[in-house]
Amino acid sequence: MTSTIELHTTVRLPPAPAPRIEVATRLRRRDRRRRNAAVDALAIIVWVSAALAAALYLASPGAHILSGGAAFVTAAGIVAGLVATDLVLVMIVLAARVPLIDRVFGTDRAIAVHRSLGKPVLYLILVHGLLITIGYGLSDRTNPVAETISLFTTLPDMPLAYLSLGLFVAVVVTSLVAVRRRLPYEAWHVIHLLSYAAVAVALPHQLSVGSVLASGTWQRVYWIALYVLALGAIVVYRFLLPILVTFQHRIRVVAVEPIAPGVVSIHLSGRDLTRLGVQGGQYGVWRFWTTGTWWHAHPVSFSAVPSENHARITVRDLGAGSRRLSRIRAGAFVSLEGPYGLFTAKARTAPYLTLIASGIGITPIRSLLEDSVLREGEATVLLRGSDPDQRYLWNEVADLATVTRSEIFAMIGPRPSGADAWQSAEDWNRGVTLTSTFPHLLESDLYICGPQPWTDLVVRDARLAGVPEHQIHQERFSS
């Protein structure tokens, strides 16, 4: 047994018969293989689309006339621009919260890939502009500065192309971690929305310049179809579907309940909320239509699985936006995007379940435990707080542990100074580890939620202990 403070311990009875465990594990692993196959298929589609972008140009009549260095430089610039355009459309689809992508890939992982493509796309766009300018300059026997001025003044759609470039630079620069931390969320969000404007203003010069998108060609039809698909996904899944969900379920604030300093539970009423299909561990993007909050969307986990007409989220004061939520009055109208996320029992592959939560990270852990069908002794829960005030919803989790016949422990106290440890200083000094706390760690699905630096330390120790990567599930909070 560990040296953590014990909240509640069930009597360990013999586990369910082995065949039952083996069947459940086999079904979970089958589902994981299917998800992995779908992820691989999506990745193949992305790379094939990028290759097709270059192939369409190389197959166009003008690409066959590459006489001299100027033509080769220009052709390379065109290919860079087409590949960049393709990847931009991929980024838009990844950010559209398409249900299929969320089910097999996870919205958080899709957004991570979306962000990772930002710099490569910007570099390709810069290379596109540079090579096009140099290639045209070599052909016209002018220097790059003179050629830039010529392009800007003689081609009607080129000013929009340069505007698009400037917008992409602004979006990528403000998305850098060091820059984003200095910006208010609202300012960053508005700047990030400019990426859609950048795509829109870049389209005219693509249609009017070059042969690959010439009027009447199949290439033009193909690219316009891609634009319609990508921008249509944004319109449908980020705007139309949330509006439909909001008016269908008519969600409103019932009460705002303080549960700890700086932490409130927001109770919501609605119609047919079970039809949302929320799974324990998922989150929604919430917008509260009051004077001080309507312009700020909040990604917040469900802290309880919704019933027919009641839902609940629990929010900690992590900034000006979340602080305003504690002052919302009953009756406020609420819109919802979601539910999203793969931090659910659907992602399980192993016979045992290990849940670790820190601070406000308790919210998806609590709903996940509530939504799990467990055998005796299958789940073990560890709750972590830097001080006693951070025991958010711990009593509820303890009650759920009794109902689900799970074992639960608590770990309270600051982390040791000068050590990269997720444990409290007291437990660190006692030698408490993941393996000493969770005897079935290597046979468990490990779900972790809490502040990102702390989560990273838990994941590091899990990997060092030999937990397979597919058994590690994370839900992160920025602070």
Q: Where do the domains of the chain lie?
A: 5-26+345-477, 60-244, 250-340
Per-residue pLDDT, 72: 82
* Three-state secondary structure call for residue 178: helix
How confident is the model over 159-198, as pLDDT tens digits? Answer: 888 888 888 888 777 776 655 666 666 666 677 777 777 8
Mean pLDDT of the region 373-387: 90
The candidate with the shortest Cα–Cα distance to 121, out of 90, 153, 145, is 90
What is the second-level CATH architecture of the domain 5-26+345-477?
Answer: 3-Layer(aba) Sandwich (3.40)
Helices (H) and strands (E) in the chain, counts: 17, 12
CA distance 364 to 313: 10
DSSP per residue, 36-92: HHHHHHHHHHHHHHHHHHHHHHHTSGGGG---SHHHHHHHHHHHHHHHHHHHHHHHH
CATH topology match: 5-26+345-477 vs 250-340: no
Q: What is the mean pLDDT of the chain?
A: 83
Q: In what order do the strands lie in the sheet with 379-385?
A: 5-8, 407-412, 379-385, 352-358, 444-451, 472-477
According to CATH, the superfamily of the domain at 250-340 is Translation factors (2.40.30.10)
CA distance 338 to 284: 5
pTM of structure: 0.80
307: pLDDT strictly greater than 90: yes
The candidate with the shortest Cα–Cα distance to 426, out of 461, 387, 381, is 387
The candidate with the shortest Cα–Cα distance to 281, out of 337, 376, 355, 187, is 355
DSSP 8-state class, residue 342: S
Tokens representing 99?
């249900």
215: pLDDT strictly greater than 80: no
Amino acid at 8: H
92: pLDDT strictly greater than 70: yes
Tokens representing 226?
């891609």
How confident is the model over 391-415, as pLDDT tens digits? Answer: 999 999 999 998 888 999 999 999 9
How do strand 310-316 and strand 263-269 relate by DSSP bridges? antiparallel
The phi-psi region of residue 216 (left if phi > 0; otherwise alpha if psi is between -120 and 50; otherwise beta) is: left
DSSP per residue, 254-283: EEEEEEETTEEEEEEE-SSGGGG---TT-E
Weakest mean pLDDT among 10-24, 48-62, 89-103, 254-268: 10-24
Tokens representing 61?
């009549």
Q: How many CB atoms lie within 10 A of CB 34?
A: 11
Per-residue pLDDT, 276: 92
Weakest mean pLDDT among 9-18, 61-70, 122-131, 184-193: 9-18
Distances (CA, A) of 193 to 83, 196, 197, 200, 259: 22, 6, 7, 12, 35
The listed range with the strongest mean pLDDT (93-102, 286-295, 319-328, 450-459) is: 450-459
Cis link prior to 339 (omega < 30° from 0)?
A: yes
CA 202 to chain centre: 27
Residues 6+ apart with CB under 8 A from 474: 343, 447, 448, 449, 455, 459
* Three-state secondary structure call for residue 117: coil
Per-residue pLDDT, 214: 62
Amino acid at 186: E
Mean pLDDT of the region 136-163: 79
Q: What are phi and psi of 472, to 5 degrees?
A: -105, 120
Start-to-end C-alpha separation, the chain: 31
Tokens representing 160?
């929009």
**Residue 6 pLDDT grade (very low, low, confident, very high; cuts 50, 70, 90):** very low
